[in-house]
Amino acid sequence: MTREVDIPDGLRRLMTEIGPAWAATGNVGKNIDLMTEEFAKVLALAPKDNVLVQRDIAYGDHPRQRLDVYSPANVDGRAPIVVFVHGGAFVEGDRNRNAEIYANVSYYLARHGIVSLNMEYRLAGPGSLYPAGSVDVGLAVAWARAHAGEIGGDGAAIFVFGHSAGGAHAAGYAYDAGLHPPEGSGVRGVILVSARVRADNLPANPNARRVELYYDTTDPAVLDARSALSFASSASPPTFIAYAEFENPLIDRHCLELAWRIARLRGQSPRLVYLRGHNHTSSIAHINTSEDFLGGEIRAFIRDNS
């Protein structure tokens, strides 16, 4: 396997410098853009060997219901399948934010023997309000089950993996039985990294208006009822939760709240990872570099639940 690329010292220093001020007023969007630009330079040098890529496959009729498939070159038909769901505060974002992000996640997984689908979904707007994002995750999971043999994966070992708002959509589908077909969700496990699993319009949330737009309400009680974590139950699939030291406001709290809810319901804590020194964007952008703590934990979770 080709040697992984290191995160340069200069980028490490930049993360250390901006981390404590990540969530200061007006900084979040600027810092997200800066991190995606800087990590793209690193990831351009990251290994992408032995990965077969099929791009722009329709899993539905809407122009944004598209996905890219990343398969290990030597896949044997028994590989787990991961459906990755990007972020974007419900109203923006693409499966390819730039030339490297979020493809880095799928390249990493495929390089380690896991079929990965990098999906796009309908953004908040007329005709695609709550629960449209989670519905689209369900459609992508159904596509994965139907085409597992063609892409070299195991249709009985499908995981959903969401970052930021994508985590709300991934968990929303996996946890809400009302969105599942008669045969069940088809999801073996849920992977959430820096995920906004609670819908809120608190003053501390810089994306409060965007949350209200997608969830189609300003009522805190309705937002609570529609939150992904409110659907978590003892019957929910196993869940992996990771969050960064420097998060977008409230996301660390939401992740811990979900972990506590699952622990209370299931009698034990879910797998939980704290990413020291990382921020809301680097938590996902560093995947497929030589820093493999998070990646290794995700692979272990997939292995243990396949």
pLDDT tens sequence across 102-121:
999 999 999 999 999 999 99
Q: Are 109 and 102 in contact (CB under 8 A)?
A: no
* pTM, entire model: 0.97
Q: Is 4 contained in some domain?
A: no
Mean pLDDT across 183-210:
97
pLDDT digits (tens, 9 = 90+) for 236-287: 999 999 999 999 999 999 999 999 999 999 999 999 999 999 999 999 999 9
Q: Is the pLDDT of residue 10 over 90?
A: yes
Choose among 58, 85, 176, 202: nearest CA to 211. 202
Q: Is the pLDDT of residue 74 over 80?
A: yes
As given in the structure block, the two tokens for residue 80 are 């787990």
Q: Is 214 contained in some domain?
A: yes
Number of domains forming the structure of the chain: 1
Q: Is 58 contained in some domain?
A: yes
Q: Is 50 contained in some domain?
A: yes
pLDDT band at residue 191 using 50, 70 and 90 as cut-offs: very high
Mean pLDDT across 10-31:
93
Q: Is 22 contained in some domain?
A: yes
Its domain, for residue 21, covers: 9-305
CATH (domain of 276): 3.40.50.1820
pLDDT band at residue 1 using 50, 70 and 90 as cut-offs: low
Q: Is 3 contained in some domain?
A: no
Mean pLDDT across 126-130:
96
Q: What average pLDDT is seen over the chain?
A: 97
Q: Is 185 contained in some domain?
A: yes
Q: Is 46 contained in some domain?
A: yes
